[in-house]
Amino acid sequence: MTGSRRRSPLSFVALCAALAGLPHPGGAQSLQGSQASLDVQNRVAREHDFTYISTDGQVTRFVGAGYLVRIGESADVQLHAVSFPYARPEVEVFVRRLGSQYRAACGEKLVVTSLTRPLTRQPRNASDRSVHPTGMAVDLRRSGSQTCRAWLEDLLLSLERGGILEATRERFPPHYHVAVFPRTYAAYVDRMTSNASATDAGVREYRVRPGDSLWAIAREHGTTVDRLKTENGLRSSVIFAGQVIGVPVTR
């Protein structure tokens, strides 16, 4: 019931990179999108044995079976013109967590414009290789605020480098297409919220306060700037008030 339809295989180099958890060649590391990015998204759908849902009725059956869950609105998340407010459970967690972080950092709600879309409901300009019919994708409206766009794009890129998702900045209409990789994302959330190793007590979430710096956070928690950057996939030491980062907690 959850198997996907066959798609074209990855190139050998891209497959090896993807399996190793490395950024794949030609991937959307600048949010531009690529055939390699679509290859990875479809490979992940196959690995999870996800069905490419065809009809409205099939969406209803998948919701009833628990394969898809409702994505609700909240103080942090708004749904706009979403025909089917359902997605894989890990996508619901992603939207909820991201919405909280985004609003804290930007003062805006995270606006979701699309979730699960059956094959019969795909728009004309959608790729025939879109993973929206699998329930593992979400579209996010592109903010008019440059600060909010920069914050969100930096976060999406850092998660993409970690092999947790694939993100593409679309122009018509302006939005971000995000394919969440369920197993990898679930492991990431578990790592952020539970014990990491015998040496560390775990990795806890820390909400950045006004005036914070990575150096000050590292000193306060007995770790290093390099460790914080590695833990959070940060390319630079720039952080924003309201941003949530993972901080190693030592025993």
**Buried residues in 63-101 as b, exposed as e (16+ CB within 10 A):** beeebbbebeeeebbbbeebebbbbbebbbbbbebbbbb
Residue 4 has pLDDT above 80, yes or no: no
Cα–Cα separations (whole angstroms), residue 86 to 7, 72, 127, 144, 233: 24, 9, 20, 26, 29
DSSP H/E element including 68: none
Q: Over the stretch 153-212, which tens digit does the pLDDT of each residue have?
A: 999 999 999 999 999 999 989 999 999 999 999 888 877 766 444 344 578 888 888 888
Domain 196-250 in CATH 3.10.350.10? yes
Tokens of 11: 């190139």
For the chain, give every residue range classified as CATH 3.30.1380: 12-186
pTM above 0.75, yes or no: no
pLDDT of residue 29: 57
Secondary-structure class of domain 12-186 per CATH: alpha beta
- Percent helix, percent strand, percent coil in the chain, to nearest 5: 40, 20, 45
For the chain, give every residue range classified as CATH 3.10.350.10: 196-250
CA 141 centroid distance within chain:
14
Mean pLDDT of the region 117-139:
94
Cα–Cα separations (whole angstroms), residue 91 to 10, 147, 162, 217: 24, 24, 17, 29
Q: Over the stretch 46-63, which tens digit does the pLDDT of each residue have?
A: 999 999 999 999 999 999
Tokens of 32: 């531009």
Percent share of the chain, pLDDT over 90: 54
